[in-house]
């Protein structure tokens, strides 16, 4: 089933070309996006790299993920002190933030509320439809970050990218374009969860086939979804290479790249003595984020002609593993940042 884009909100929260910050902004995506229905889930065009469904169910999952990550680092961003200093009120152009892959807009709206003196632009492949009122200092644009960001050149103090790796086709060049959008001394914030799970000793858990001892359907589903993303050209494991790409890019200050990893139990499988109220809530948020992710992965796998009965069987087993706490594992999230140099931006050298 084919149908056109959802209606664009009329409350001033959405714009193809924002009236502030990126005065030369333009859309680099198709002007009339065709959506498809797959068993009740909305998918984008068949030739799109990132196939996670941009529908209400996925937006609800993004809210779960946002709440979970905010509790993981006890902030909207890492590193908190450095970002606060960069975004402090000042004379001249207002501090500005670019949220690439803004999803349902939750992070951008929260930042606009926290920093009312800043200007925030969120971009995504599909129109952003925030659930909460959008502050006047926040705008959303439809744009594809796989294209050059020259229309945002030298416009932002913070560029934020969270869990967008699967939709990026040339990550090294993408990081270079992020540097182009940053003002001198600006900061790039990267956030990504790995698609590998870790056992209680923090050792990677191997992906096994059903029938093998230690098989996990949770592990299997995310492994298969990762392979699909990679086959379509996305970088689902880009966080493993962030340090290398940044340190070999002349547009970022050498030696100032920093990253922190945080491990989160995928359910409340730890002993009760190790779980206070906040920790238990964090485990529950992680579990429900994964449970909702199964349904998005299902649409992705069926789109790639996986057997529906087998996929549904995996999901049934995976839900049991989470509810019964039999898959004792951690998910790992990486939070990283890099600083833009004060030198003129340099394009990438192509062989």
Both tokens assigned to 207: 């992906």
The DSSP secondary-structure symbol of 40 reads: T
**Separation between Cα atoms, residue 250 and residue 97, nearest integer Å:** 22
**Separation between Cα atoms, residue 334 and residue 52, nearest integer Å:** 21
* DSSP-based three-state secondary structure for 307: coil
Nearest to 145, CA basis, from 50, 36, 244: 50
Both tokens assigned to 314: 């995996």
Is the peptide bond between 62 and the residue preceding it cis, with omega within 30 degrees of 0? no
**Separation between Cα atoms, residue 221 and residue 313, nearest integer Å:** 10
* DSSP-based three-state secondary structure for 280: helix
Cα→Cα distances 19→125, 136, 137, 157, 165, Å: 19, 11, 11, 18, 28
Indicate the pairing of strand 330-339 with strand 258-265.
antiparallel
Residues forming beta bridges with residue 204, ordered by sequence position: 198
**Separation between Cα atoms, residue 232 and residue 255, nearest integer Å:** 33
Task: Please give the helix or strand (H or E) that residue 320 lies within, else none.
Answer: helix 308-323
Output the tens digit of pLDDT for each of the chain's 351 residues: 222 233 333 333 333 333 344 333 344 444 445 555 555 545 555 545 555 556 788 888 999 999 999 999 999 999 999 999 999 999 999 999 999 999 999 999 999 999 999 999 999 988 888 888 999 999 999 999 999 999 999 999 999 999 999 889 999 999 999 999 999 999 999 999 988 999 999 999 999 999 999 999 999 999 999 998 888 888 888 999 999 999 999 999 999 999 999 999 999 999 999 999 999 999 999 999 999 988 888 888 988 899 999 999 999 999 999 999 999 999 999 999 999 999 999 997 654
Residue 99 dihedral angles phi and psi, to the nearest 5°? -105, 105
Residue 305 dihedral angles phi and psi, to the nearest 5°? 70, 25
Both tokens assigned to 29: 């995506």
Nearest to 123, CA basis, from 146, 147, 99: 99
Beta strands in 53-181 (DSSP E): 96-100, 119-124, 138-142, 156-162
**Separation between Cα atoms, residue 64 and residue 264, nearest integer Å:** 14
Q: At what angle do helices 308-323 and 277-303 cross, to 10 degrees?
A: 180
- Whether residue 265 contacts residue 283, with contact meaning beta carbons closer than 8 Å, is answered with yes
* SS3 of the chain: helix, strand, coil, percent, to 5: 35, 20, 45
Q: What is the pLDDT of residue 167?
A: 87
Both tokens assigned to 181: 């959008």
Those residues whose C-beta lies under 8 Å from the C-beta of residue 308, and which sit 6 or more positions away, are 302
Say how many Å lie between the first and final Cα of the chain, rounded: 43
Q: What is the pLDDT of residue 23?
A: 31
**Separation between Cα atoms, residue 196 and residue 169, nearest integer Å:** 21
**Separation between Cα atoms, residue 236 and residue 223, nearest integer Å:** 10
- Whether residue 235 contacts residue 308, with contact meaning beta carbons closer than 8 Å, is answered with no
- Give Dmax over CA atoms of the chain in angstroms: 65
Other CB atoms within a 10 A radius of the CB of residue 2 amount to 8
- Whether residue 188 contacts residue 182, with contact meaning beta carbons closer than 8 Å, is answered with yes
């Amino acid at each position: 089933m084919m149908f056109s884009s959802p209606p664009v909100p009329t409350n001033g929260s959405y714009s193809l070309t924002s009236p502030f910050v990126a005065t030369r902004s333009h859309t680099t995506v198709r002007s009339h996006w065709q959506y498809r229905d797959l068993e009740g889930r909305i998918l984008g065009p068949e030739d799109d790299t990132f196939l996670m469904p941009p529908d209400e169910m996925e937006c609800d999952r993004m809210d779960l993920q946002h709440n979970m990550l905010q509790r993981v680092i006890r902030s909207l961003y890492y590193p908190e002190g450095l970002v606060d200093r960069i975004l402090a009120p000042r004379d001249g152009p207002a501090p500005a933030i670019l949220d690439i892959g803004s999803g349902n807009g939750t992070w951008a709206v929260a930042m606009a509320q926290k920093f009312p003196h800043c200007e925030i632009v969120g971009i995504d492949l599909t129109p952003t439809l925030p659930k909460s009122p959008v502050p006047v200092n926040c705008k959303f644009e439809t744009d594809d970050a796989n294209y050059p960001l020259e229309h945002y050149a030298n416009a932002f103090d913070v560029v934020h990218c969270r869990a967008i790796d699967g939709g990026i086709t040339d990550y090294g060049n993408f990081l270079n374009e992020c540097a182009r959008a940053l003002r001198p001394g600006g900061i790039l914030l990267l956030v990504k969860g790995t698609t590998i799970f870790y056992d209680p000793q923090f050792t990677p858990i191997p992906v096994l086939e059903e029938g093998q001892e230690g098989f996990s359907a949770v592990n299997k589903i995310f492994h298969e979804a990762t392979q699909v993303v990679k086959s379509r050209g996305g970088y689902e494991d880009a966080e493993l290479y962030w340090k290398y790409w940044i340190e070999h890019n002349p547009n970022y200050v050498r030696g100032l790249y920093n990253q922190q990893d945080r491990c989160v139990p995928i359910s409340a499988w730890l002993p009760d003595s190790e779980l206070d109220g906040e920790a238990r809530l964090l485990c529950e948020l992680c579990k429900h984020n994964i449970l909702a992710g199964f349904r998005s992965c299902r649409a992705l796998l069926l789109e790639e002609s996986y057997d529906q009965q087998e996929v549904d069987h995996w999901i049934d087993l995976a839900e049991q593993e989470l509810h019964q706490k039999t898959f004792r594992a951690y998910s790992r999230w990486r939070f990283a940042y890099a600083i833009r140099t004060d030198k003129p931006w340099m394009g990438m050298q192509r062989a």
